[in-house]
Structure 1
């Protein structure tokens, strides 16, 4: 598979103060997909402007024509499958079938307790995620759904006329553990990883590559057990969380070197963060745009 380049636009800019222009510029630069985090707040941005993902993506759908759009990632932390399915069906309609859902089990961050609940254990997150995604799949493919689960239920939930994309919009499942990878193999059209978080501070690029190779191998095993070909799923790396995070966007050459090494591992899509000054995602806007327009062409030479 050829390598695609996408971006993440964090929802930090008011729509009429640069937000709309940023999504339009992502389309002009030729990115395959522009994603947004689906959080209510996030790390160092907690006390700064931060807007909702679904309304932002809806506005972006109306402001663009070709650019694919998506979350990276949604989680069960503050969402319910019934209401999320309705919002996604609507967004898929407004965008003309340009939406992908990045989705994962969630973490123990701000979103995990914002509704007043105690944070879930890793086991409970995994249990909830499996039930959440299985029900969401039904809600997006069947016109009427009733289900009773341990965590999520639906009573004659209607989603007519369904998604523009058939049988539903694609799921890009974020997972590294055995249960998550099994779920990816069962329901995913794509797999998402950020690498090994244990290597974030002190790991080396070589260690990161080896860890990613192991994750990909475990995905291959899960796909084989599900009766799927290993080439039947897209493999997405959300960059910015591997040991190269501080050098990746310093130059086109640095990006090309990174991209080539990860393409060799079988990744089909790399996602880079749009620069945000004075943050973990600070970068030279000019270099970012050069990477968008020249990086993959240079890699192909």
Structure 2
């Protein structure tokens, strides 16, 4: 089991932002991710910084911990420009970047460029084209592509990623099309649980839903000719009925149950006061320091 964190880009770098990322490395987190949004839910009218500049600064301020997005989406990104930024990030970090990527949603990002929000089918259609093209752009020096939603004309991406053949993709998916993309292009798979269960269900029902998702991922991998063990299974917490940050014991129970369900990596939100991610920082740091040891990891 791996333990990681996600640090929302809400702090000025000169006013505690740098210190949070450095503290995450000191605590031994495997990866520190950040959201890749233009704004997000209750933080819309509060400070919010860009993911790529934030990760660039974090790469310069740390030396061991992996870094990444959780997650980037096609809502306001284009594969051509994103690939160039990712190659640069991978170089600056000396090969420590993971790209978390998903189909996007119907939040603020969906209309920020003045477009109508895509339907679920349209999001899936864009995602199905976005991921393979980004894969090509990150693994080939020159790419030309003509698709329904995206185009690339003699795009150069030299020297490519530090990580070979490219930096890893952690693909967020719950539906069959997304699972197929994860099986075909992912080095990891990401879930937040089942939103329908999380809205009205119990922690036990949420766990069973995650177990079912892992099973569907295994089926998708088998159809793609891959061993599901090749993909790290990541659980981003904070969206299910569980409360793993309530105490060390609560985390150990949560992590142990999800490990049995097939999850390999737990991601905890770094506490933010007066928000949906408010939590006791002392408890959070104790979980980071002792949680995996309690599991025998």
TM category (shorter chain) comes to over 0.9
State yes or no: 1:216 paired with 2:214: yes
Within 5 A, what are the aligned runs for 1:246-285? Answer: 247-285=243-281
User: Where do 5+ consecutive residues of structure 2 fail to align?
Assistant: none
Deviations 1:197-246 (A, max 9, x none): 112232101110111111111100000000011211100000011101xx
- Matched position secondary structure for 1:129: helix
Question: What does residue range 145-164 of structure 1 map to in structure 2 within 5 Å?
Answer: 145-164=143-162
**Structure 1 residues 30-179: aligned runs within 5 Å:** 30-179=28-177
Please give the TM-score of this superposition, normalised by the length of structure 2.
Answer: 0.99
Counterpart secondary structure, 1:270: strand
Please state whether the residue corresponding to 1:157 is helix, strand or coil: strand
1: CA distance, partners of 2:244 / 2:255: 9
Runs of 4 or more consecutive aligned structure 1 residues displaced over 4 Å after TM superposition:
none
Give the count of matched residue pairs: 297
Aligned to 1:249, the other structure's residue is in SS state coil
Residue 24 of structure 1, aligned match among 22, 25, 29: 22
Please list the CA deviations of residues 183-203 of structure 1 after superposition, one character each: whole Å capped at 9, or x if unmatched: 110000000000011122321
Which runs of 5 or more residues in structure 1 are unaligned? none
- Which of 231, 234, 237 is equivalent to 2:232? 234
TM-score (norm 1): 0.98
CA distance in 1, matches of 2:101, 2:66: 16
Cα deviation 1:122-148 (Å, max 9, x = unaligned): 111101001011100000000000000
